[in-house]
Structure 1
């Protein structure tokens, strides 16, 4: 497998390490600090993208030029950015998700299958990350929120302060904590009458996200054009 790395920070270097351990060939890398590298980089079987929002346009140029499949985990993308990736899926195999952890994929599937049973319960999300994380709430928290509120009908709160009144049934709180070196922790709380259910996923290191991205890369190669979901690749739905 030949891979090209878009983004060469901590995550990019870990992807490179794991890819080389598997015997894959890393044909090159580019980053927002050297966008001109996208213009001359060779094609590959798959591009692993964990860059930043500012790298999207040169990345799209690279992908259109080389016809390379895309596995992207870049967070902080806007709706127009995601629309551009959806459009790219008309031409190439593409997957984007904010979290490639297998555990998070199962977590999302659990919410998808069972959150409706708890429709009348109060729901809150708490996410914790290291003190270097630039965006909030995390992309993973947003993915979990989508499973709880697929129609986007809820009132999403990112804080409560002062005399804010009693909790409204349509509210979902999404709260971000930052500190230390936490790789990632996400908890969804369901509060019912006289009982509470919470589901938590903890990441011990970035390695799980890199390993998951490589699994997705292996699964997407050889597929036709499309904007794939991680569920389609992992659960074959």
Structure 2
């Protein structure tokens, strides 16, 4: 297999450095160049502060940077016809829409709410469970994260709920808070609960509660390295793909 050369956008951020370290364990790819406004970190590859200065030929871009860099990076990727693994969080709805509806028509784009293979396997499992148990079990999602996380529920919890809803015959309502709802739980309802505390990296549980039995499927992240591994696997997956929108479900399906 030909070596896959990666441009790592946001290389000097926390996740950029995690990916740099993890890439040493991948013999099929290497970080050939980095992009970051901060060039004070010593990396084993050249780092550019501007895409205009990057003269390294690459096969895939992994982006773990900032939504502010989105427009320039996407313009560069489309001009050079380079596939993009988009890992940056906090994109606006306009940016997400552009990525899915416009950019993916021109270049291969890999985009998932969560880059963990384990979380995406959980999503595939709960979709099957929800379809099988529909109408007989109540569904609740509990997510736990560190005390610095601002958004609640997490994007992953919402992605899990959306995946469940897509697999059901009838759409369920999302309920985020029950303290002000003085009434019984509805049958067509997915409850979502957010816990914030300490240094929890990420914990997602899906509870199917039926008559006299409970089924629980959960995933716990012990470190952020799992997201880096997912990004590198996504880069390998995307390198030879045609233009289009891809996600972890495509990667999982290809490896089944």
Counterpart in the other structure of 1:9: 13
For residues 204 and 130 of structure 2, the distance between their equivalents in structure 1, rounded to whole angstroms, comes to 16
Give how far 1:76 is off.
Answer: 3.1
Secondary structure, aligned partner of 1:149: helix
Would you say 1:97 and 2:112 are equivalent positions?
yes
**2:62, 2:85 within 8 Å by CA — same for their partners in 1?**
yes
Counterpart in the other structure of 1:117: 132
For residues 36 and 130 of structure 1, the distance between their equivalents in structure 2, rounded to whole angstroms, comes to 31
Of 155, 165, 170 in structure 2, the residue corresponding to residue 139 of structure 1 is 155
Secondary structure, aligned partner of 2:105: coil
**1:127, 1:185 within 8 Å by CA — same for their partners in 2?**
yes
1:1-237 matched pairs, under 5 angstroms: 1-7=4-10, 8-22=12-26, 24-30=30-36, 37-42=50-55, 43-86=57-100, 87-120=102-135, 121-150=137-166, 153-236=171-254
**2:107, 2:243 within 8 Å by CA — same for their partners in 1?**
yes
**1:31, 1:55 within 8 Å by CA — same for their partners in 2?**
no
TM-score, with length taken from structure 1: 0.89
For residues 88 and 119 of structure 2, the distance between their equivalents in structure 1, rounded to whole angstroms, comes to 16
| Cα offsets for 1:36-87 (capped at 9, x unmatched) | 7244434521111222333322221221233221111223334332221122
For residues 58 and 182 of structure 2, the distance between their equivalents in structure 1, rounded to whole angstroms, comes to 54
Give how far 1:21 is off.
Answer: 4.3
For residues 164 and 147 of structure 1, the distance between their equivalents in structure 2, rounded to whole angstroms, comes to 28
**2:8, 2:31 within 8 Å by CA — same for their partners in 1?**
no
Residue range with higher mean Cα deviation, 170-179 or 214-223: 170-179
Larger radius of gyration: 2
**2:109, 2:245 within 8 Å by CA — same for their partners in 1?**
yes
| Cα offsets for 1:176-233 (capped at 9, x unmatched) | 2112111110000111112111111001101111011101111110111111122222
Q: 1:31 to 1:90 in 2, by over 3 A?
A: farther
CA RMSD of aligned residues (A): 2.4
TM-score, with length taken from structure 2: 0.83
**2:35, 2:49 within 8 Å by CA — same for their partners in 1?**
no
**2:126, 2:206 within 8 Å by CA — same for their partners in 1?**
no
